[in-house]
Structure 1
Amino acid sequence: MQMFSRSGRHHGRNAFTLVELLVVIAIIGVLVALLLPAVQQAREAARRMQCTNQQKQLALAMHNFHDTYGNLPGGSYGNAGTHNFGRDSWSWYGFILPFIEQNAMYEQLNFEQKINGAADRGGAARKQLLDAMLCPSDDTKIQEEGSASWQNSLHNYVVCYGDASYNSGLAPWNEVDGYAGSAGMFVPERKANFRDCTDGLSNTLLFSEIITPAEENTWSSLGRTQVAMGAGFTTYLPPNADANDRTNRCHTNLGGNLGPKCTQHADWDWGANVVAARSWHPGGVNVALTDGSVQFIPETISLNPWRWLGSRGDGKVIGEY
C-alpha cells in the first residue's frame, strides 16, 4: 500500500495576494467615482422637488389670503409713507402665517407696532426659522447677528417687487441705471389684487428663492422675510446673476464661490434694493407664478422676458422662455 507523507498534501490558498487586493480596491474606487455623482444628482433632484412643493404651498397660501381679503398683503406695512421699504416695516410674511398653519405665531403679532426696536416685538415670527421657508439645497440656516431688539432669521423664499428695485413702479426710487421699473405683485405700503395683474397671472412672478448668506453683517437686506427691506427680489438681474446685488446693507459672504456679491447702495434708501433670484440648484431657480404654478427657470433665460415676468402690467408679450 502506497503511503503518503503529511508533507505531501496539497493546501489551498486562504488569502488574497497584495496585487489582487490592490486590484479590488481600485475597482471599488472606480465604482464609487461612477456612482457618487449619480447619488448626488438624485439627492439634489429630491431637494429641488421639495423646494418646488414648498413654493407651491406658499403660492396656495397667497391665493387663500386673496380669497379671504380680496387682495394680497402689502409689500410693506407700517412705514407711515407711500414710498420706501422701512427697515422696521412689516412685510407680507406676518400676514400669511395663519395660511401656512402658523396661527400661534400670528397671535403674537401686533401690526400697530414696528417689527423691530424691542425684544418682544414680532415674537417668534421675527426669530424662528420655519422649515417651510427654507430650501433644503441651501444649508446656511442662520439668524442675524446683533441685539435681540433687531435680530431676524433669514429665509429663502421671497416675493417679487417688480423688475427694477423694490420701489418698481413708484417714483422716485423706481429707476436703476436709467431703467424705469414696473410694479410687481407687491409694492410698498399698498395692496394689489389679481385684477391688477393685467399681464396675466401665468405671466407674472409671485415668489422666487434666494440664497441666504453664509456670513452677514448685522441687519442684512437679504432674506429677512419678516422685515420689508429684505423680503423680496426683483428681476432687474437675471437668475443666479454674476452681477452684484445692490442693497442698503450688504452681507459679507454669500457662500460657495460667490463671495460678497453685493454693492452697498450709495444713498442708503431701503426701497432701492436690487436683489437677484438665486439658488444652489444647478442651472436655475424655482419660481412660483401668480396663477399658483411653480416652474424651474433656467439661468440662461433672456433678460427681457425675465424682467417682463417681474412686472404685473407692462403689456409685454413674453412668449416662450
Structure 2
Amino acid sequence: MQPNTTLPILRSVRRGFTLVELLVVIAIIGVLIALLLPAVQQAREAARRMQCTNQMRQIALAQHNFHDTFRELPPGSQGNDPWGRDSWSYYGFILPFIEQTAMYEQLDFTNKINGNIGWGGDARINLLETMICPSDDTNIQEEAVPEWRNALHNYVVCYGDSNYNSGTPWNVVDGYTGTAGMFVPEKRAKLRDATDGLSNTLLVSEIITPTQQDVWSSMGRTQVAMGAGFTTYLTPNADANDRTNRCHTNLGGAMGAKCTQHADWDWGANVVAARSWHTGGVNAALADGSVRFVSETINVTTWRNLGGRSDGQVVGDY
C-alpha cells in the first residue's frame, strides 16, 4: 500500500486591521496634521504678506507717477464741506496710475464723493482688489444708505505724527504738538517737502477694515478723506484705542473694539494707528517708494519721526 503523499493545502488567511490599530493610525495622522498645520498657515500668511507688500509698492509707485506728471502729490483731501468728512482723498486721483482709468473718468471732483448716489461712481462703492490686503478678509461695504455707502479698503496715507490736522494749527494730541506728514487736508505736498529725507518719511501703510460697521465709519474709507489716513501718534497695532469722529464697532478677532468717539464732528482730530493682521507689525511704504515691514514694537519716538516730513529729527534704527 502506497503511503499517502498528498500535502495539505495551505490557505492564506488575510488579516485586516484591528480597531485598535486603526485608532492608532488615525491618532498618528491627527498628530502629524497638528504639527504641519501651523507651518502651512505660516507659509500661506507669508505669501499673503508678500502680495500685500507688492500691492503697496504699486500704490507708492502710482504716487510717484502722479508726482512726475503734476509735480506734486495728490491732496490729503479736496472739496472740503463744512466738516470735510466727505471730501475726496488721494484715492480718486491715483486711479489712472493703477490701471483704473475708466473708473477715474466717472469722477467729478467739483462734487463731494458722498451724499448722492451719482457722486463718486464706481470708485465709491466697488471693492478694488489692488487696494485690499489678502490678510484682511473682512473688506465690505459700509452699512449705510446707498448715497453714503463706501467700500472699505486697507491702504491709507500718512497725515502726520499726531492727528489728521498735523499740518494745521489744530494738531495737538494729549499735549503733543504734531508735524505734517506727506498728506494734509486741502493741500498738496511735493516730494521736496520731505526735508527729513524720502527714506525717513512715511507715505502709505495699512488699516484693518472692521467686521461690523456703524454708518459713516472712519476706518478704511480710502476714497473719503475722513477714512483715508493714519497717523504715527500710536505705534502699529497699538493697544490704545483709535480716536475718530465716527467709531467702528469691531475690528474682529482678538482686536475687538478699538475706538473712542470724539464729542464733535472734527474728522481732522482723528488719531488712527496703522494696523494689520500680519503677525508682529505692518507694511509701510516710504516716500522713496520702498516698502518695509515695521515691527509693532518700534520705539514710539522713531515711529513719530517717520510720520513727520520735516520735523528735523533723526530717525533711529527700526
Work out whether 1:125 is the aligned partner of 2:123.
Answer: yes
Q: Distance in 1 between matches of 2:81 and 2:130?
A: 31
Query: Quick one: structure 1 residues 258 and 308, their matched pair in 2 at CA, closer, same or farther if it must change by over 3 Å?
Result: same
TM-score by length of 1: 0.96
Quote the sequence identity (%).
Answer: 72
1:22 CA drift (Å): 1.4
1:10 CA drift (Å): 4.1
Q: Distance in 1 between matches of 2:13 and 2:193?
A: 85
1:140 corresponds to which residue? Answer: 138
Work out whether 1:188 is the aligned partner of 2:154.
Answer: no
Q: Distance in 1 between matches of 2:21 and 2:103?
A: 63
Q: Please give the secondary structure, in 1, of the residue aligned with 2:249.
A: strand
Structure 2 letter corresponding to 1:2: T
Q: Distance in 1 between matches of 2:298 and 2:262?
A: 26
Deviations 1:137-193 (A, max 9, x none): 001020011111111000000000000000103112x11101011000000100000
Q: Please give the secondary structure, in 2, of the residue aligned with 1:253.
A: coil
1:25 corresponds to which residue? Answer: 26
Q: How many residues align?
A: 315
Deviations 1:245-291 (A, max 9, x none): 00000011110011110000122211100000010000000000000
Question: C-alpha root-mean-square deviation of aligned residues, in Å?
Answer: 1.2
Alignment of 1:206-285 (within 5 A): 206-285=203-282
1:49 corresponds to which residue? Answer: 50
Q: Distance in 2 between matches of 1:169 and 1:95?
A: 20
Deviations 1:85-129 (A, max 9, x none): 612110110000000000000000000111111100000000000
2:72 corresponds to which residue? Answer: 71
1:105 corresponds to which residue? Answer: 103
Structure 2 letter corresponding to 1:141: N
Kept in 1: contact 2:167–2:185 (CA 8 A): no
Work out whether 1:114 is the aligned partner of 2:98.
Answer: no
Structure 1 letter corresponding to 2:77: S
Kept in 2: contact 1:169–1:180 (CA 8 A): no
Kept in 1: contact 2:136–2:208 (CA 8 A): yes
**Alignment partner for residue 166 of structure 1, among 157, 164, 167?**
164
Q: Please give the secondary structure, in 2, of the residue aligned with 1:252.
A: coil
1:80 CA drift (Å): 5.9
Q: Distance in 2 between matches of 1:234 and 1:209?
A: 11
TM-score by length of 2: 0.97
Query: Quick one: structure 1 residues 80 and 211, their matched pair in 2 at CA, closer, same or farther if it must change by over 3 Å?
Result: closer
Deviations 1:28-76 (A, max 9, x none): 1111111111100000000000000000000000000000000001100
Q: Please give the secondary structure, in 1, of the residue aligned with 2:64.
A: helix
Unaligned runs of 5+ in 2: none
